[in-house]
Chain A
């Protein structure tokens, strides 16, 4: 098992290097110039060129690449081209917000999605089943930012329960939760919709398996069949989906972060890209890729807990 873990993490190294190299070159091939962005739309070519020299962007690409790789491997991620602040510092600043939001929405999604999906599968084609399916489709296909604005209108303006600027709050736990609530619900609804759908379909699948029929025929109590045999097996695809979305959620929660004014990794990545902040973008991609690798690993390990037939080699 430990061996497997080490092996997996070692395999992540080439992934990281590949991502870094791709980001490094693609970012520089993209039209658009950080010096231009920094100096604004009325800057002259001379000022832009002077800044490029100061930032070291005029050096040969390969030289910059070697420098960057050496830095990256020794743990020095440099400073943001645009703001001049440390890349690592910026990332560490926002990452608690991202983790908080992601975990909260996954938790919310699983708490709603798994029971609802299982229930819906057990009462297939009942009224509840239809309601669940329609509800989950609604959660899935409705644009998240439209929902975000609706949540704000309802809970921050009409009811005035939560602040519009959910920027994370101060020190107290209650304030943090207050600021977390609406963004987490916004993403949680989408998560719940996905989880409900997948739980329901894989539950139906399992209910039709031979061993379930056998168990039933043997007279194993219904409750036990459902909990011990079905749900357990039905959870594999669910875990895959959760794992998949954990990564996607972190990178693509930009719109939610923007509407609710929360700091976050997604906002940082898009900001770095639109400003052509090469160093920031590279640093962020290292972090982001690392998160994806770890999440994938955890997902695969979870299969083993759920289904002992899965072997790790």
Chain B
């Protein structure tokens, strides 16, 4: 296996080859295409929000408040008589941005930290994991409130707060397999050959932990959008009246027995995005980890 990735890293027309492998992986895993298509549709919806929205997402029309789904309001209206469908499509923009960016930051920073800690071990490992433990010791709500209190509410700070809550889990997820992989013979061999640490980590360890990170990442995106909702409980949310999925779920929470569709629409939207990302994730995993190709189990 180390030979395969080693070759890959050394081959000159690397990009082309990677693309071909990706296509192959996606073709083995037909659902990946479905996921990619779905995600593309969601992104398109977010981009085309002004075209797709049937109403102004922030225009209040109190006479039409809390109406159920109808021909005029496809998904009904909220407590201010705002059209939920229009808020949903506009909300996609900010929710995808906030969730995506914060998880990307957490993935990159977290796995880097975890890998370094696991790889070098010893005091560095302990020190790094101590800091992670301190971070992890704060429930996300508390950490979020602390961030906003110090820095004030804004989208950037929201992203920072969510990323901060997600870094320690990624670090731990990345560290565990690193500890186990680095004991293996081929890593010892690499060291003996005088490969640099960054190279060993990038070429031999990263591919081993990448699938886990990827799986985690696609799962945590949903969490990130939900954290956004729970942070809006404590005032870290996006400024009203701008719609976000998390904020919409929170608004619906108050009225869940009266008007269930308020929470349901954004919940389903999150579900669709997570589905899509996971299907893509499965294809990516095969690409990163080609040995799985054709494995059918049993």
Contacts and interface: CB of A to CB of B under 8 A. Distances in A.
Please determine if A and B sit in direct contact within the complex, based on CB atoms under 8 angstroms apart. yes
Interface residues on B, range: 35 or more
A261 interface: no
A101 B175 CA distance: 28
A302 B296 CA distance: 30
A137 B296 contact: no
Contacts of A309: 180, 183
Contacts of A310: 179-180, 183
B259 interface: no
Given A236-B177, A273-B145, A201 B297 contact: no
Interface in B113-135: 121-122, 126, 129-130, 133-134
Given A252-B140, A293-B133, A201 B215 contact: yes
A73 interface: no
B145 A137 contact: no
A292 interface: yes
Contacts of B180: 236, 303, 307, 309-310
Nearest to A291: B137
A127 B116 CA distance: 40
Interface stretch (B37-45, B51-59, B86-94, B264-272): B264-272
A202 B253 contact: no
Contacts of B211: 201, 205
A8 to B, nearest CB: 9
21 contacts: A12-B133, A15-B134, A30-B149, A31-B149, A122-B297, A138-B271, A141-B267, A142-B271, A143-B267, A201-B285, A204-B297, A236-B180, A237-B176, A248-B169, A251-B138, A269-B139, A270-B139, A273-B141, A285-B138, A303-B180, A310-B183
A123 B142 contact: no
Nearest to A124: B297
A140 B140 CA distance: 17
Contacts of B291: 208
A178 interface: no
B257 to A, nearest CB: 7
Interface in A112-170: 121-125, 130, 133-134, 137-138, 140-143, 145-146, 149
A18 interface: yes
A197 B139 CA distance: 23
Contacts of B138: 19, 251, 285
A146 B256 contact: yes
Interface string A277-313: 0000000010011001100100000010001011101
Nearest to A281: B142
B150 interface: yes
Contacts of A241: 173
Contacts of B179: 303, 310
A43 to B, nearest CB: 22
A149 B139 contact: no
Interface stretch (B7-15, B72-80, B188-196, B222-230): B222-230
A208 B133 contact: no
A197 B219 contact: yes
Given A19-B138, A26-B146, A137-B275, 9 more contacts: A15-B134, A22-B134, A124-B296, A204-B297, A207-B292, A207-B295, A236-B176, A241-B173, A251-B141
B226 A137 contact: no
Contact of A288 (B126, B137, B177, B273): B137
